Every structure is written in structure tokens, then in C-alpha cells.
């Protein structure tokens, strides 16, 4: 079984585009500009439009962005599993008030300059509906600086009055005063990085906080009256037992967040875990044990009333993360800040990951020296089809074949359905009619002989939960091979 990447792939698209099975267009855009993704961009070498525009069949439909990702890279220290773009401040800096840390103030000024110098994609660009402050540890940034970023976004793009404004927060980096200040600014969703509920496990992960801070943080978020909050957990950690994982899931349910993200540990090269451990080998769990952890999460959270709406995401009714839904629907979004990646007009563009180069990038942007990093909306149809399949199959809704056929041609519907037949037979893929009733494997097989009937009868394709989700690498690869043989 291929190991799935449950790392927060989509919630971190802007600063990390690491994918187990990479869609060709995404993969091409990354491979054609290696410095942007894995290393740093030289200012003379800034990538611009990278989407293939030379193929005969091009699509030009790309609605304007209504989402913005903001990267706030500061952390007290680097966790042992983490290879995100961060700046480690050191553990001695003031616990709750980093007001005067020039590294933070200077960065936020630079970020605001980037926002200011960015051209809205069109004159009648709609106001932002979601803003996501990701990190790093955004909760280390003083609220007055967060406020200056929100104000800059308001001036530049407009922000809807009911916009979802999310912020990632780490236990031990905020108190109730800071929390209330953030809420007053319009922040209305928190993503709390807990990872594990065992003191020893937090230490092994190199977290800058212990279990006491975890419980305090949960208490602060809840006592401030915030309902829309998420709790992040990591499964398959070194020495993690079934009992520990069960305990983490139970304590999560007791904390009653309205959203939970469960990520399977990705052992990254260059991290402490990367130097200590080999995936699948003790003290890391085997692939079978990891799959078991995944199934436990799906079952336990499902029984507690959480909908498993995306491979790594669970929510109570009405509490999906609207910002992340943008990614899964392959919609465009702005991104600002060190190492962040935007998706505009069909182009994914990664900013430099080193502060010096990012500073140069912003200066060049202000001086009009950066070539337009927004595409013209013309994208290769096969590339886009593959992205749409890959992204939508990560969700419980699955792929809407009607709109897929409208965008890419109805012949691709039967191509995909034929590729999925073995998986419909095995129960890993579910075919649904327009009312979302599932079709039996026999019904589905019969339809495959008649293209017109497939289009009429099969409205959605989705992966089963948890077995289909667990096989999603294989399933999505089959879809790729069928679309672009």
C-alpha cells in the first residue's frame, strides 16, 4: 500500500507544495522552477507564468480570487518533524508580547509592502471572503501587527464583512488578552496546533510547549466564546502506540473543537526526524499500523459527530474550513509572505524562502521589475483536468462529473469511469447518481458499455471512507494515466 500524504497539503499549499502524487500541472510548475520550491529564488531567476500554454486545447475560465494566504514564519524553535519555511526566534523571547521584536515588525512591514505592490487581478475584483494566517506560528505576531495586515488587505482588495479570517496558534504563545484582541480585529477562526496529548510525545516532537499549555490554550479559546476552531493532531509519530493515539482522539473529542485536522507524519529530509528515523521502521509505525491509526481516527471522530469531509479534515456540521475548500475546488488565491505560493490565472508562483531574497523580491515588485506572476487564465486542459480530479477526490463530495464534462469534454467522463471500474468493484470508489445515491458495482459496469448512459446516470465519483481515502495515491494515479496516457 502506498503511504498517503496526510500532511496539511492543501492548508499549506501557499508555503509548501509537497504532494505524494503530484498532478502533472502542479508538478511541472514546480519542476520547471526548482529554485522556487525546494530552494530559494535568485532575484534574476524569478519564475513567472509557468503553466503550459502551448498545447492546442486551452481553457480560459478562471474566476477572480477571493482568498488570501498570509505567511507568518516566526516560531520559538523548529519542531523535529517540521520543514516549513520558518524563522526560529529562540525560546528566550517574551512569551506573549513580541511587540518590540524588530524581526517581526520589519517582516510585517515588508509583507504589507508586498500586498500594497500587488496588482489586483482585475479592476472589479470581488472582496476577499477568506484570509488564512499560516505559519510558522502566527500567534507569536502581536495583534496590532496582524491588524495592520488586515487593514492593508482591506485597502487593497476589500474584505467581506462576513469573511472567514483564520489564524494558526500554538499552545504557550497566547493568553486570553491576546486571544480577545485578535477576535476584536475580526479573526473568527483558530487552528490550534496540539499534535499529541502526551507530555513525552510533545517533547519527542521538539514542541516548544508541554501538555499544561495545551490544556490552557484550549481553555482560552473556548472561554473567549470562539466556536469555529480546529485542533491539529499528528498520527504515526515515533513510539506512538495505539493507546496513545486513542487517548489523543478521545481528549480531542472532549475538547470539542468544531474542526479537527489529522495528519499522518511525513518524515522530511533535513529535519531531525529525517536524520533519526526511516518511514515504516521502528520506532515509526509500519504502513499497516499507520493505516490502522487512520481508520481509528475516521471511526472515532465519525462516531463523535464529525464529518470526514476531506482526507485529513473533519468538522461538525457547518464548520468546514472555507479557505481550504478554495484549494480543493482548484480556485485561485492570493498569497503573501516568505515562501508562500499563490495561484492566480492558472499559475502557481512560489515566493523566495530566504528573508534576504524575499526582501529583494518585494523591492523588485515595487519597482515593477518582477514579471507578471499572474497568468492570463489560459491553462492546458489536461493539466487542469488532472488538478481537478486530484483535488476533488480528496473530498467526501468527490468529483462532480457533470461539471467536469462541461469543462473538459464528456468523453473524459467515460475514460475516467472505465479507469475506475476495478476500484468500484473493490469498493474503493463509489459512483453516485444525481441524488447522491450510490450505484452498485453491477449497475456501474453495465453503464460502461454506453457513454450516453454513463453521463446520464453517474453524477459523482468519490473515494470510500476510509479504505478509498487510504488508497487514494493509487486511485488518483490511475485517473492521471487515463487522462494523459
Ligand X SMILES: C[S@@+](CC[C@H](N)C(=O)[O-])C[C@H]1O[C@@H](n2cnc3c(N)ncnc32)[C@H](O)[C@@H]1O
- Cβ-proximal residues to 49 (8 Å cutoff; 6+ apart), any chain: 345, 347, 372, 373, 374, 375, 376
Binders of ligand X among 169-228, rule CB under 6 A? 170, 193, 195
Q: Cβ closer to ligand X: 81 or 480? A: 81
CA-CA distance, 88 to 268, in Å (whole number)? 18
Binding segment for ligand X (CB under 6 A), chosen from 7-15, 363-371, 436-444, 469-477, is 7-15
CA 9 to chain centre: 4
Closer Cβ to ligand X, 134 or 375, answer by number: 134
Binds ligand X by CB under 6 A, chosen from 12, 25, 85, 228 = 12
Phi and psi at residue 142, to the nearest 5°: -55, 140
Q: How many Cβ atoms sit within 10 Å of the Cβ of residue 435?
A: 6
Task: Give the nearer residue to ligand X in terms of CB position, either 111 or 265.
Answer: 265
Contact 172, 217 (CB under 8 A): yes
Whole-angstrom Cα distance, residue 362 to residue 468?
43
C-alpha atoms less than 13 angstroms from C-alpha of 404 in its C-beta half-sphere: 29
Give the number of other CB atoms < 10 A from CB of residue 346: 29
Candidate residues 128, 145, 182, 234; the one interacting with ligand X per rule CB under 6 A: 234
Residue 380 makes contact with ligand X by CB under 6 A: no
Neighbours of 392 (CB within 10 A): 21
Closest distance of CB 60 from ligand X, Å = 33
Residues 6+ apart with CB under 8 A from 391: 10, 23, 327, 328, 329, 330
Q: What are phi and psi of 183, to 5 degrees?
A: -65, -40
Closer residue to ligand X in complex, CB, 25/313: 313
Segment 330 to 359, residues that bind ligand X, using CB under 6 A:
none
The alpha carbon dihedral of 106, 107, 108, 114 has a sign of positive
Least distance to ligand X, CB of residue 362, Å: 22
Q: Which of 65, 73, 135, 238 binds ligand X (CB under 6 A)?
A: 135
One residue of 268, 443, 451, 467 binding ligand X per CB under 6 A: 268
Sequence-distant (≥ 6) Cβ neighbours of residue 483 within 8 angstroms: 382, 385, 386, 389, 412, 415, 416
Listed ranges 41-49, 117-125, 130-138, 477-485: which one lies at the site for ligand X (CB under 6 A)? 130-138
Minimum distance, C-beta of residue 197 to ligand X, in the bound complex (Å): 13
Of 158 and 279, nearer to ligand X (C-beta) is: 279
Closest CA to 416 of 427, 402, 426: 402
Selection from 250, 234, 430, 227 nearest residue 317 by Cα: 227
Interface stretch with ligand X, choices 131-139, 198-206, 246-254, 440-448 (CB under 6 A): 131-139
Residue 234 or 476 with smaller CB distance to ligand X: 234
Please name every residue paired with 342 in a beta bridge, in sequence order, or none if there are none. Answer: 349
From candidates 213, 232, 383, 455, binder to ligand X by CB under 6 A: 232
E strands along 138-211, which residues? 159-169, 189-195
Strands (E), 78-127: 87-88
Binding-site member from 47, 65, 73, 134 for ligand X (CB under 6 A): 134
**Residue from 49, 252, 258, 266 binding ligand X (CB under 6 A):** 266
Assess contact for 89 and 98: CB atoms under 8 A.
yes
Site string for ligand X, 80-119 (x = CB under 6 A): -xx-x-----------------------------------
168 binds ligand X, rule: CB under 6 A: yes
Q: Give the shortest CB-174-to-ligand X separation in angstroms.
A: 12
Q: Which of 51, 66, 137, 313 binds ligand X (CB under 6 A)?
A: 137
Q: How far apart are the first and last CA of the chain?
A: 23
**CB-nearest residue to ligand X:** 193
- Residue 344 Cβ, how far from ligand X at the closest point, in Å? 22
Q: How far is the CB of 268 from ligand X (least distance, A)?
A: 5
Question: Nearest approach, Cβ of 97 to ligand X (angstroms)?
Answer: 18
Q: What track of x and - describes contact with ligand X for positions 19 through 58 (by CB under 6 A)?
A: ----------------------------------------
Number of residues interacting with ligand X: please give it, by CB under 6 A. 21
303 touches 272 (CB < 8 A) = no
Binder among 8, 337, 375, 398 for ligand X (CB under 6 A): 8
- Contacts with ligand X by CB under 6 A lie at 7-8, 12, 75, 81-82, 84, 134-137, 168, 170, 193, 195, 232, 234, 263, 265-266, 268
Amino acid at each position: 500500500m502506498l503511504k498517503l500524504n496526510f500532511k496539511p497539503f492543501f492548508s499549506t499549499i501557499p508555503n509548501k507544495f509537497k504532494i505524494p502524487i503530484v498532478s502533472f500541472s502542479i508538478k511541472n510548475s514546480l519542476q520547471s522552477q526548482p529554485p522556487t520550491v525546494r530552494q530559494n529564488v535568485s532575484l534574476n531567476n524569478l519564475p513567472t507564468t509557468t503553466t503550459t500554454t502551448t498545447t492546442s486545447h486551452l481553457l480560459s475560465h478562471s474566476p477572480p480570487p477571493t482568498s488570501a494566504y498570509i505567511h507568518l514564519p516566526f516560531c520559538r524553535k523548529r519542531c523535529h518533524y517540521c520543514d516549513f519555511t520558518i524563522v526560529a526566534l529562540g525560546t528566550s523571547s517574551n512569551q506573549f508580547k513580541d511587540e518590540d521584536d524588530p524581526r517581526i515588525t520589519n517582516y510585517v512591514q515588508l509583507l504589507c509592502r508586498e500586498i500594497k505592490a500587488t496588482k489586483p487581478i482585475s479592476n472589479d475584483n470581488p472582496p476577499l471572503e477568506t484570509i488564512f494566517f499560516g505559519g510558522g506560528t502566527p500567534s507569536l505576531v502581536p495583534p496590532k501587527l496582524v491588524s495592520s495586515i488586515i487593514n492593508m488587505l482591506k485597502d487593497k482588495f476589500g474584505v467581506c464583512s462576513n469573511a472567514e479570517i483564520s489564524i494558526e496558534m500554538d499552545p504557550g504563545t497566547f493568553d486570553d488578552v491576546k486571544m480577545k484582541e485578535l477576535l476584536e480585529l475580526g479573526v473568527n477562526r483558530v487552528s490550534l496546533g496540539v499534535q499529541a496529548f502526551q507530555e513525552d510525545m510533545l517533547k519527542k516532537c521538539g514542541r516548544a510547549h508541554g501538555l499544561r499549555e495545551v490544556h490552557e490554550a484550549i481553555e482560552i479559546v473556548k472561554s473567549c466564546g470562539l466556536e469555529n476552531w480546529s485542533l491539529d493532531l499528528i498520527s504515526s509519530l515515533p513510539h506512538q502506540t495505539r493507546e496513545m493515539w486513542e487517548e489523543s482522539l478521545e481528549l480531542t473529542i472532549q475538547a470539542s473543537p468544531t474542526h479537527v485536522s489529522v495528519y499522518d507524519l511525513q518524515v522530511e529530509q533535513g529535519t531531525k526526524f529525517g536524520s533519526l528515523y526511516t518511514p515504516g521502521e521502528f520506532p515509526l509505525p509500519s504502513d499497516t499500523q499507520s493505516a490502522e491509526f487512520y481508520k481509528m481516527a475516521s471511526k472515532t471522530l465519525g462516531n463523535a459527530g464529525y464529518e470526514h469531509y476531506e482526507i485529513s479534515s473533519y468538522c461538525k456540521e457547518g464548520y468546514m474550513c472555507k479557505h481550504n475548500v478554495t484549494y480543493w475546488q482548484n480556485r485561485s488565491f492570493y498569497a503573501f509572505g516568505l515562501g508562500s505560493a499563490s495561484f492566480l490565472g492558472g499559475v502557481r508562483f512560489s515566493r523566495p524562502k530566504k528573508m534576504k531574497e524575499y526582501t529583494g523580491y518585494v523591492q523588485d515588485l515595487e519597482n515593477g521589475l518582477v514579471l507578471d506572476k499572474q497568468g492570463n487564465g489560459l491553462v492546458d486542459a489536461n493539466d487542469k483536468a488532472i488538478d481537478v480530479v486530484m483535488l476533488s477526490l480528496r473530498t467526501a463530495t468527490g468529483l462532480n462529473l457533470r461539471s467536469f464534462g462541461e469543462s473538459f469534454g464528456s468523453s473524459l467522463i467515460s475514460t475516467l469511469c472505465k479507469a475506475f471500474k476495478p476500484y468500484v468493484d473493490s469498493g474503493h470508489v463509489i459512483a453516485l447518481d444525481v441524488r447522491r445515491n450510490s450505484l452498485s458495482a453491477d449497475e456501474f459496469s453495465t453503464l460502461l458499455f454506453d457513454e450516453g448512459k454513463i453521463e446520464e446516470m453517474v453524477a459523482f465519483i468519490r473515494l470510500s471512507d476510509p479504505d478509498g481515502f487510504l488508497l487514494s495515491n493509487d486511485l488518483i494515479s490511475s485517473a492521471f494515466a487515463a487522462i494523459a496516457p
